[in-house]
C-alpha cells in the first residue's frame, strides 16, 4: 500500500534518516521501534508528506509520489495521528474535524457530526461531537484525533505516532481493539512505539530503527524475542563500546543528600506520569535515572527542583523539604537545576551572558553593589570568570545568550548552576542535541564537581550510554515507576528494564 525506499533526510548537520526502507501492507499493523532520536517520527512525517526527503522514493498505492504534500497524502488516504495532538482546544469536536477538511464554503456540521458518530461507533469508541476539546481528557482527545483521521472515509494508511505515550493503562486496551478492527477492515496501520510489550502484542510485523537506519525487520512480530529487540534498540546506540557497557560496581555509600519518598506527579495535561519513585542520592555520587522519554523523568526533575508540586510523596534535602514549595525555596535549600530545554527554560536568550549568569540568587547575592545598583564591573568580572572556568565560547560577556551555539549555551547554564555551589545538582538531559566535544565538556564538569567537592548530582537522562558512562548508580523509570538497576548490571539488562519494565 505504501512503500518507502532508501529514504534520506538531514536537518542541518544531523542525519535523521540514512537510507531507510519501509513497507506498509493493507490489512496489517506494522510496528516501528526505536529510541528517541532514532528517526521514527521523521520517517512517518515523510510518509504523510509533512517532511520532504532529501533522497529516496515514496510509492503509494502503486504510484510514485516524488513531491508528496500533506494535502496530496491525505487525498491518497494517508492519515496520521500525531504524538502531540493537533487540535484547537476552544473548538468543538465537529469543528476540529471540519478544520481538517479541504475546501467548501459552507460548513456542514450536521453531516460531519453524523460521520463522527458513525466512525466512532464502528471503532467502538465513545466520542461526543459537540464537546469542546478543552473539556476532554487526553485519552478522549486522542480518540478525536483518530476519528478525525478516519471520518469521511477514504483512509487507506493510518499512521500513529506513539499513541500510547499519553494514555493510562486502562485506555490502551480499547485503542488496540479499535486498531485491530481497522486492520481487519483492510487498513494499513503503522504503529510507532517504544514499549516492546505493546508493539509485540499488537503488531503483525515490525521494523527497528536506530540512529536513522533500519537495524532489523521482522515480517512476523511473534517470532521476535523481546531481549533481542531491546538490544537492537538500545544496544546499537554507540556502536562498539556500547555492547560492553554495564552499570558500575557497588561502592561505599556516603551520607544521603536527597531522599525521595514515593514521589508521584502529573504532567500539565493532568496525566499521572510519575507514579512511584523512592530513592536516595548520596554525597560524592552521580545517581543516573534513565528511561524512555515520557516515563516521568521530566516530572521527576521538576518535582525535585521545586518547580512542580508532587501529587504524592516528598523530596527532602538535608532536613528541608524541597518538593512542593516552589523553585525559589528549593534553590535556597541548595538544589540547582539544569532543565532539559536550555533555550526555553535554561536561559533567557534575549538577556546577555552576564545577565543570565546573575539570575541565580546566590551569584547575585555575592555580586558587589553600589547602593541599590549592580556594579557593572563586578557583573562583567563574574561573567568573565565563569566563561573562562567553563570554557563558554562567546564573543563577549555582553552579547545575548541567544547568539551562542547550543553547546555553549548549555555550558553557560551549567556554569550558573554549578557556581551556585549547590548541595544537589539536578540535570535533565544535559547533553541532548550536543556534539561530541560539548558532551564531553558537560560530562567533565559533572565529574569534576563530584571529584573535587564530593557533591551530589541527580542526572536524569534518556541516554543509557550517558547514564552508564558517568553514573555511579543507575535507576530506570518505566511507566512512572522507578526501578533500581543492580550494581554491575549489563546494558542488555538495563535496556530491557527501559523497554519492558521487567528484569
Partner 1 sequence: MTRARGLGRELVQAAVLVAAAAATVLVLLVAFGHDPLVAASVLFRAAFGTPGNFAVTLVKATPLLVLGTAVAIAFRAAVWNVGADGQFLAGAIAATAVGVAAGPLPSLVAIPLVLAAAAAGGALAASPPAVLRLARGTPEVIGTIMMNFVIGFLLGYLLEEGPLREAAGTFPQSDPLAPSARLPRFDEASRLHAGLPVAILLALAAHLFLSRTLGGLRHRAAGLNARAAEAAGIPVRRVAFLALLVSGSIAGLAGAIEVAAITRRLFTGFSGGIGYTAIAVALLGRLSIPAVAAAALFFGALDVGAASLQRAAHVPPTLALVVQGTLLALSALFAESGRRAARRRAEAAA
Site for partner 1 in 258-317 (CB under 8 A): 305, 307
Does residue 381 bind partner 1 (CB under 8 A)?
A: no
Question: For cell 514521589, what's the residue?
Answer: 263
Does residue 406 bind partner 1 (CB under 8 A)?
A: yes
Does residue 378 bind partner 1 (CB under 8 A)?
A: no
Cell of 303: 518535582
- Convert residues 426-445 into a mask of x (bound to partner 1 by CB under 8 A) and - (unbound): --------------------
Does residue 416 bind partner 1 (CB under 8 A)?
A: yes
Stretch near partner 1 under the rule CB under 8 A, chosen from 23-31, 137-145, 164-172, 358-366: 358-366
DSSP 3-state of 140: helix
DSSP 3-state of 406: helix
- Tell which one of 402, 444, 454, 488 touches partner 1 (CB under 8 A): 402
Q: Is the dihedral of CA 399, 403, 404, 406 positive or negative?
A: positive
Does residue 128 bind partner 1 (CB under 8 A)?
A: no
Stretch near partner 1 under the rule CB under 8 A, chosen from 30-38, 186-194, 272-280, 362-370: 362-370
Does residue 384 bind partner 1 (CB under 8 A)?
A: no
- Tell which one of 61, 246, 405, 447 touches partner 1 (CB under 8 A): 405
Nearer to partner 1, 37 or 346 (CB): 346
Residue 93 exposed, middle or buried by CB count within 10 Å (0-12, 13-18, 19+): buried
Stretch near partner 1 under the rule CB under 8 A, chosen from 158-166, 291-299, 356-364, 487-495: 356-364
Q: Compute how many residues bind partner 1; rule: CB under 8 A.
A: 43
**Residue 314 host element (H or E):** strand 312-317
Does residue 344 bind partner 1 (CB under 8 A)?
A: yes
Nearer to partner 1, 64 or 348 (CB): 348
144 and 96 in contact (C-beta within 8 Å)? yes
Stretch near partner 1 under the rule CB under 8 A, chosen from 105-113, 236-244, 373-381, 482-490: 373-381
**Residue 359 host element (H or E):** none
Nearer to partner 1, 63 or 436 (CB): 436
Does residue 373 bind partner 1 (CB under 8 A)?
A: yes
Does residue 400 bind partner 1 (CB under 8 A)?
A: yes
282 and 254 in contact (C-beta within 8 Å)? yes
- Tell which one of 288, 404, 423, 460 touches partner 1 (CB under 8 A): 404
- Tell which one of 245, 294, 296, 346 touches partner 1 (CB under 8 A): 346
Site for partner 1 in 63-122 (CB under 8 A): none
Q: How far is the CB of 420 from partner 1 (least distance, A)?
A: 9
67, HSE (Cβ side, Cα atoms, 13 Å): 0
Question: For cell 533500581, what's the residue?
Answer: 484
Nearer to partner 1, 17 or 428 (CB): 428
* DSSP codes joined into one string, 80-112: EE-SS----TTSBHHHHHHHTS---SS--HHHH
Question: For cell 560577556, what's the residue?
Answer: 397
d(CA 73, CA 79): 8
d(CA 378, CA 409): 22
d(CA 147, CA 96): 11
- Tell which one of 71, 110, 197, 361 touches partner 1 (CB under 8 A): 361
* DSSP codes joined into one string, 177-237: HHHHHHHHTT-EEEEEES-HHHHHHH-SEEEEEETTEEEEEES-GGG--HHHHHIIIIITT
With CA atoms as reference, report the closest residue to 20 among 35, 42, 1: 42
- Tell which one of 100, 238, 259, 364 touches partner 1 (CB under 8 A): 364
Does residue 474 bind partner 1 (CB under 8 A)?
A: no
Site for partner 1 in 309-338 (CB under 8 A): 326-328, 330-332, 337
- Tell which one of 37, 193, 237, 339 touches partner 1 (CB under 8 A): 339
Cell of 440: 564531553
d(CA 476, CA 494): 8
Cell of 273: 506520569
- Tell which one of 25, 100, 259, 351 touches partner 1 (CB under 8 A): 351
Q: How far is the CB of 321 from partner 1 (least distance, A)?
A: 16
d(CA 223, CA 212): 24
Does residue 451 bind partner 1 (CB under 8 A)?
A: no
Stretch near partner 1 under the rule CB under 8 A, chosen from 118-126, 148-156, 207-215, 367-375: 367-375
DSSP 3-state of 483: strand
Nearer to partner 1, 143 or 382 (CB): 382
d(CA 201, CA 125): 20
Strands (DSSP E) contained in 442-501 are 456-461, 473-478, 481-484
Nearer to partner 1, 280 or 405 (CB): 405
Nearer to partner 1, 409 or 439 (CB): 409
Query: Which residues of this protein are in contact with partner 1, per CB under 8 A?
Result: 305, 307, 326-328, 330-332, 337, 339, 343-351, 355, 358-361, 364, 367, 369, 372-374, 376, 395-396, 398-400, 402-406, 409, 416
Amino acid at each position: 500500500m505504501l512503500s518507502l525506499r532508501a529514504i534520506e533526510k538531514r536537518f542541518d548537520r544531523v542525519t535523521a534518516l540514512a537510507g531507510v526502507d519501509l513497507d506498509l501492507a493493507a490489512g496489517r499493523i506494522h510496528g516501528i521501534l526505536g529510541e528517541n532520536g532514532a528517526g521514527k517520527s521523521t520517517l512517518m512525517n515523510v510518509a504523510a508528506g509533512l517532511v520532504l526527503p532529501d533522497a529516496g522514493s515514496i510509492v503509494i498505492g502503486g504510484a510514485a509520489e516524488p513531491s508528496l504534500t500533506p494535502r496530496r497524502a491525505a487525498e491518497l488516504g494517508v492519515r496520521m495521528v500525531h504524538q502531540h495532538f493537533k487540535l484547537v482546544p476552544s473548538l468543538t469536536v465537529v469543528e476540529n474535524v471540519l478544520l481538517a477538511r479541504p475546501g467548501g464554503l459552507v460548513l456542514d456540521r450536521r453531516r460531519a457530526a453524523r460521520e463522527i458518530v458513525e466512525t466512532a461507533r464502528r471503532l467502538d469508541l465513545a466520542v461526543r461531537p459537540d464537546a469542546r476539546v478543552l473539556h476532554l481528557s487526553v485519552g478522549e482527545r486522542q480518540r478525536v484525533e483518530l476519528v478525525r483521521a478516519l471520518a469521511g472515509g477514504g483512509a487507506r494508511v493510518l499512521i500513529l505516532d506513539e499513541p500510547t505515550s499519553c494514555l493510562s493503562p486502562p485506555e490502551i486496551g480499547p485503542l488496540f481493539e479499535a486498531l485491530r478492527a481497522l486492520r481487519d477492515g483492510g487498513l494499513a496501520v503503522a504503529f510507532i512505539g517504544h514499549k516492546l510489550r505493546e508493539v509485540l502484542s499488537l503488531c503483525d510485523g515490525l521494523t527497528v530503527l536506530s540512529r536513522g537506519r533500519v537495524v532489523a525487520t521482522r515480517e512476523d512480530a511473534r517470532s521476535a524475542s523481546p531481549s533481542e529487540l531491546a538490544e537492537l534498540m538500545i544496544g546499537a546506540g554507540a556502536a562498539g563500546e556500547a555492547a560492553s557497557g554495564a552499570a558500575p560496581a557497588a561502592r561505599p555509600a556516603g551520607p544521603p543528600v536527597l531522599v525521595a519518598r514515593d514521589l508521584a506527579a502529573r504532567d500539565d495535561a493532568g496525566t499521572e506520569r510519575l507514579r512511584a519513585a523512592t530513592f536516595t542520592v548520596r554525597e560524592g555520587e552521580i545517581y543516573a535515572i534513565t528511561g524512555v522519554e515520557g516515563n516521568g523523568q521530566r516530572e521527576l526533575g521538576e518535582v525535585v527542583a521545586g518547580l512542580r508540586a508532587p501529587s504524592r510523596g516528598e523530596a527532602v534535602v538535608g532536613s528541608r523539604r524541597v518538593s512542593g514549595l516552589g523553585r525559589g525555596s528549593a534553590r535556597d535549600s541548595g538544589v540547582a537545576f539544569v532543565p532539559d530545554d536550555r533555550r526555553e527554560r535554561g536561559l533567557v536568550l534575549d538577556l546577555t551572558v552576564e545577565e543570565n549568569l546573575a539570575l541565580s540568587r546566590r551569584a547575585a547575592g555575592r555580586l558587589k553593589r553600589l547602593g541599590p545598583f549592580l556594579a557593572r564591573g563586578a557583573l562583567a568580572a563574574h561573567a568573565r570568570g565563569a566563561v573562562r572556568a567553563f570554557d563558554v565560547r562567546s564573543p563577549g560577556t555582553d552579547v545575548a545568550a541567544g547568539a551562542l551555539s547550543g553547546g555553549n549555551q548549555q555550558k553557560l547554564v551549567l556554569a550558573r548552576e554549578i557556581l551556585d555551589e549547590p548541595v544537589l545538582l539536578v540535570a535533565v538531559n544535559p547533553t541532548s542535541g550536543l556534539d561530541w566535544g560539548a558532551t564531553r565538556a558537560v560530562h567533565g564538569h559533572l565529574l569534576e564537581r563530584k571529584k573535587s567537592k564530593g557533591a551530589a548530582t541527580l542526572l536524569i537522562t534518556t541516554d543509557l550510554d550517558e547514564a552508564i558512562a558517568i553514573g555511579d548508580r543507575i535507576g530506570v523509570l518505566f511507566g512512572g515507576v522507578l526501578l533500581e538497576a543492580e550494581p554491575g548490571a549489563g546494558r542488555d539488562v538495563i535496556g530491557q528494564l527501559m523497554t519492558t519494565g521487567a528484569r
